[in-house]
């Protein structure tokens, strides 16, 4: 059984990036749940998510809580889903997938997910697989990746990322990369 924990970024009082009507916490939730649902329908995956809704309290789900949850689930892979933002007017666009410094399993997972998104989501330009020290990918016991689905500040990315059908398709692309990683 392949155990995967999905972590939709932000939530509750923490919206993440906001640009126009696009709110990172909402987009990351739909994308992550689409990927989670797809894998949960298989009998060779055990799937958990750190949040299934916007958090119905005046709090945010802490990064420590997310890591502790993954560790309690004894995850084989932790997948955090986010959207990027730059200063308004910045031309930055595209998706990127992060793993922790020097993690070879993290690099493999990030590379597989990056390639799947590149193949299935031509609307968002590929940036690259990158190493970083973000709290959640540094501290989970499981190999971990963090997907930045695109830039909400990009006039190129945002119109796609705002569409529910596109968010679902994005989740399916991430799921395809995870299947590749587990070799199933
Ligand atoms: Zn974020």
pLDDT tens string 97-138: 999 999 999 999 999 999 999 999 999 999 999 999 999 999
**Which residues lie near ion ligand 1 (Cβ < 5 Å)?**
9, 16, 82
149 alpha carbon to ligand 1 midpoint, in Å?
Answer: 10
Tens digit of each residue's pLDDT (9 = 90 or more) over 55-66: 866 678 899 999
User: Would you say residue 179 has pLDDT above 90?
Assistant: yes
User: Would you say residue 182 has pLDDT above 80?
Assistant: yes
Which architecture, in CATH terms, is 2-182? Answer: 3-Layer(aba) Sandwich (3.40)
Calculate the CA 90 to chain-centre distance. 23
Domain borders along the chain are 2-182
Residue-level pLDDT at 60: 80
Compute CA distances 105 → 122, 145, 164, whole Å.
Answer: 26, 10, 31
Averaged pLDDT score across all residues of the chain: 96
38 alpha carbon to ligand 1 midpoint, in Å?
Answer: 23
Tens digit of each residue's pLDDT (9 = 90 or more) over 83-97: 999 977 778 999 999
pTM: 0.96
């Amino acid at each position: 059984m392949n155990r995967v924990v999905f972590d939709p970024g932000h939530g509750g009082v923490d919206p993440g990036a906001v640009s126009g009507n696009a709110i990172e916490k909402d987009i990351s939730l739909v994308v992550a749940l689409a990927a989670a649902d797809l894998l949960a329908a298989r009998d060779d995956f055990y799937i958990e998510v750190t949040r299934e809704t916007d958090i119905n309290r005046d709090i945010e789900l802490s990064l420590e809580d997310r890591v502790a949850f993954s560790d309690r689930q004894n995850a084989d892979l932790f997948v955090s889903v986010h959207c990027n933002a730059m200063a308004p007017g910045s031309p930055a666009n595209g998706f990127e997938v992060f793993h922790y410094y020097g993690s070879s399993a993290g690099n493999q997972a990030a590379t597989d997910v990056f390639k799947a998104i590149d193949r299935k989501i031509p609307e968002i330009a590929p940036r690259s697989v990158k190493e970083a020290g973000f709290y959640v990918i540094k501290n989970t016991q499981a190999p971990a990746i963090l997907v930045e689905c695109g830039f909400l500040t990009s006039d190129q990315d945002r119109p796609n990322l705002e569409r529910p059908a596109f968010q679902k398709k994005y989740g399916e692309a991430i799921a395809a990369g995870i299947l590749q990683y587990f070799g199933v």
